Amino acid sequence: SGFLITGIISRGIGAGTFSFRKFYYRRAKRLLPAAYVVIAVTVLLAPWFLSELAIEDLKAQVIGALTFTANVVLWMQTGYFEAGGETKALLHFWSLAIEEQYYMVMPLLLFLLPRPFWLPVVAGIMLVLGAASPYFAWSNPDAAFFLPHTRAWELAVGSFGALLPARYLGTRALSLARVPAIAVLLSIPFFPTGLPHPGVDAMLVCLATLVIILGHDNSRWEKILPARGLAFVGDFSYSLYLVHWPIVVFTKAAWLEGAPPHALAIAVALSFVLAWLLFRFVEEPFRQGFNRYPARTVGTILAASLVIATAPTAISAATASSVDFTKMLRRNYGLDTVCADRAAGFTELPAECRSTDNPKILVWGDSFAMMWAKALADAMPDKGVLQATLPRCSPMFRSAISSVRASKDRRQESEDCLDFNNSVMDLIVRSTELETVVVSSPFAAPLSRGAYLLTRGADGKVDETRLNRDLSIEQMKTIAETIRASGKKLVFIAPPPRLKLDMAACQERLMRGLVTFTRYKNCAIPEASWRRTRKRTIDFLDDVANAGVPVLYPSDFLCTEGVCATAMDGTIIYRDHGHLSY
C-alpha cells in the first residue's frame, strides 16, 4: 500500500497534477462502496450468529469503520474481561483505519516538503518508528498493535521504496536478494521469533516484501510464475480482505468447540466467491464510474454512512430477546468496577469495595475471587464483605507470579500484584474486625511452566525464584498458617467446573436459537471431561486440602449424576468459559 499510493502521490506532485480533492475522492470511490456493502451485510447477519455482547461491540466497530477510527475503537475493546478478536466481525478494519490515517499525513508531507527532502524524511520516519516498534510492542502490546504511531513505519517502508531513484530499482543485487526474501516470507509464519508483535517479525516481512517489489526485472524466472492468476487474485484482493473475516467470525461462532477443517475450507471458498462478486458488481463499477457528479456521489456516501451507522441499533432492537443477555452476562467485577481497577490500588481501600462499614469477610484473589464478592455480600448482609481483588493477580504469600519472557506491561503487573498481595496480608494481620478470609483463584498460574515467584527484599529490590508445584503448595500453607495465627477463619474456593468452551455463549445461543453446532447436550459440562482437562489443578488443590487448608469445591453443588449445570431456572450461571455471572 505504501509503495503504490506514495508512488501515485509523488508522480502527481512531480507533474503538477496532484489534487487533494481528487485524491481523496478517488480513494472514497475505491474503498467505501465495497466496505459499506460488507458492513451492511455483516450487521444484517450478526443477530443470527453473534452474542448480544458481541453485537454491542459491533455497534462501536461500525462507527469506527465508517470514520476510519476502527483501530482506536478496537484498542479500547481490549482488556482482561473483553472478548477475543475472533468474536469481532469488523476486526480487520483496524488496518484500513491505519492506512487512511497515514494517507491523511503523507500527501500533505510530500506536498509541503521540497522534493530533495522526501526520501530522507520518509527514511527517518521508517527508521525511528521502526526502531522503536519492538519497545512499543514490549511495553504496551495492545496499543502497539492498533495505534498509528506504532504501525506507520510499515507503510513508510513502502513509501521509502516508492521514492528511491530509478537507478536503484531492478538491479542484479536486488534480483538475487529476492530468493532469501521469499524464504523469509515463507518461514516467518511457521517459525516466528516469538518476540512481541509488531517488532522483528514485522520488520523482516516488510523488508522482504520491499526487496521482492524493487527486484522486479521481467526475468525468465519471473515469467514462469502464474502471473495472470496472481494478477487476477490481486485485482479483487481488497474485496477478499473485506469479506473473509466476517465469514470466519460467523463460522467460528457457530462451532463452539472450534470449526472443523471442512467448515473452514467452505468458509475460505465462500470468501473467494463472494469477494469476486463484490469486486465485479460493486467495487469495479464504482471505481470506474461516477466521475460526472462528484458532489452527488459524496452526498450519497454520507447518506449511506448515516444509514449504516444507525442500522445495528435498529436491527438489534428488532431482533432482541425477551431476556436481557447483555445484563445477565455483564462483566462480574464483584461489588464495583473500581475493585478490578489496577490504577486505584488496594491500599486506598475504596469505599465501593465494602458492602458495610465494618465488614467481617475479606474476599481476596483475582477475577475468580471477584465473582464471589457480591454473592457473599447478598447472602450474608449482616456480616458484610470487603473485596480485595486484582485481575491476573494470584493470591500468594507476600509474593507474585511472573514469566521470564513477560512484556514490560506484564512485568509491571506482576510487581503491582506483589505490592497488592503484601498490602492484603498486612491488612489481614493487623485487622481486629475481620473474622473470615475467602481466597479464590483458578490456581493455574502457580502450576504454569516457566513461572517465577517474585518477592521484594528489605532493600526494595525484586527477587526471582523459579516456581514449582511444591513451592506453590508451601505458599498456600503459609497463607493458611498466617491467617489462622491472626485469629481468623480461612476458606479456599476452587474454580468452578470449566472447559475451554464458553458455556455462557453456548447457553445464550441455545436460548436465542442462534446457528450453533456443539456436542454438549443442553450446554452442560460433563464432569469427567472437566476432571480430565483440569486434573493438575484439582490434584494441586487436593494436596492443599490434605495439608490442612479447607477447600470448597463449587462442583459439589453444580454437578449431579456426572453432569455440571451451567444454567438454572433460565439464568445462565457462567459469563464466559470460567467466570460466574452476577
Range of the domain at 485: 337-497+532-557
Q: What is the DSSP letter of 50?
A: S
- Nearest CA-CA partner of 56 in 93, 92, 91, 88: 88
Q: Is 352 contained in some domain?
A: yes
512 Cβ neighbours under 8 A, 6+ residues apart: 321, 325
Together in a domain, 139 and 206: no
Q: Is 345 contained in some domain?
A: yes
pLDDT tens, the chain, 582 aa long: 999 999 999 999 999 999 999 999 999 999 999 999 999 999 999 999 999 989 999 999 999 999 999 999 999 998 755 667 888 999 999 999 999 999 999 999 999 999 999 999 999 999 999 999 999 998 888 999 999 999 999 999 999 999 999 887 777 888 889 889 999 999 999 999 988 899 999 999 999 999 999 987 666 666 666 777 888 889 999 999 999 999 999 999 999 988 999 999 999 999 999 999 999 999 999 888 777 767 888 888 889 899 999 988 888 887 878 889 989 999 999 999 989 876 555 556 688 999 999 999 999 999 999 999 999 999 999 999 999 999 999 999 999 998 766 666 678 889 999 999 999 999 999 999 999 999 999 999 888 888 999 999 888 899 999 999 999 999 999 999 999 999 999 999 999 999 988 999 999 999 999 999 998 888 999 999 999 999 999 999 999 999 888 899 999 999 999 999 999 998 999 999 999 998
Q: Is 382 contained in some domain?
A: yes
Together in a domain, 541 and 439: yes
For residue 284, what pLDDT is reported?
Answer: 93
Together in a domain, 308 and 244: yes
Please state the pTM of the whole predicted model.
Answer: 0.84
- Final residue belonging to a domain, choices 257, 291, 318: 318
Q: Is 578 contained in some domain?
A: no
Together in a domain, 292 and 351: no
Together in a domain, 238 and 107: yes
Q: Is 326 contained in some domain?
A: no
Q: Is 438 contained in some domain?
A: yes
Q: Is 521 contained in some domain?
A: no
Together in a domain, 60 and 14: yes
Together in a domain, 189 and 80: no
Quick one: which H or E segment has residue 284? helix 284-288
Number of domains in the chain: 3
Together in a domain, 199 and 270: no
Length, in residues, of the chain? 582
In 363-381, which positions are buried (b, 16+ CB within 10 angstroms) versus exposed (e)?
Answer: bbbbbbbbbbbbebbeebe
**What gap in Å lies between CA 397 and CA 480, rounded to an integer?**
9
Encoded amino acid at 8, one letter: I
For residue 267, what pLDDT is reported?
Answer: 97
**What gap in Å lies between CA 347 and CA 343, rounded to an integer?**
11
Together in a domain, 109 and 229: yes
Together in a domain, 17 and 118: yes
Together in a domain, 382 and 353: yes
| Cβ atoms of 335 and 373 closer than 8 Å | yes
Together in a domain, 154 and 205: no
Q: Is 515 contained in some domain?
A: no
- Final residue belonging to a domain, choices 318, 351, 386: 318
Residue 448 main-chain phi, psi, to 5 deg? -75, 145
The distance of Cα 469 from the centroid of its chain, to the nearest Å, equals: 30
Q: Which three cell numbers stand for residue 230?
A: 496472481
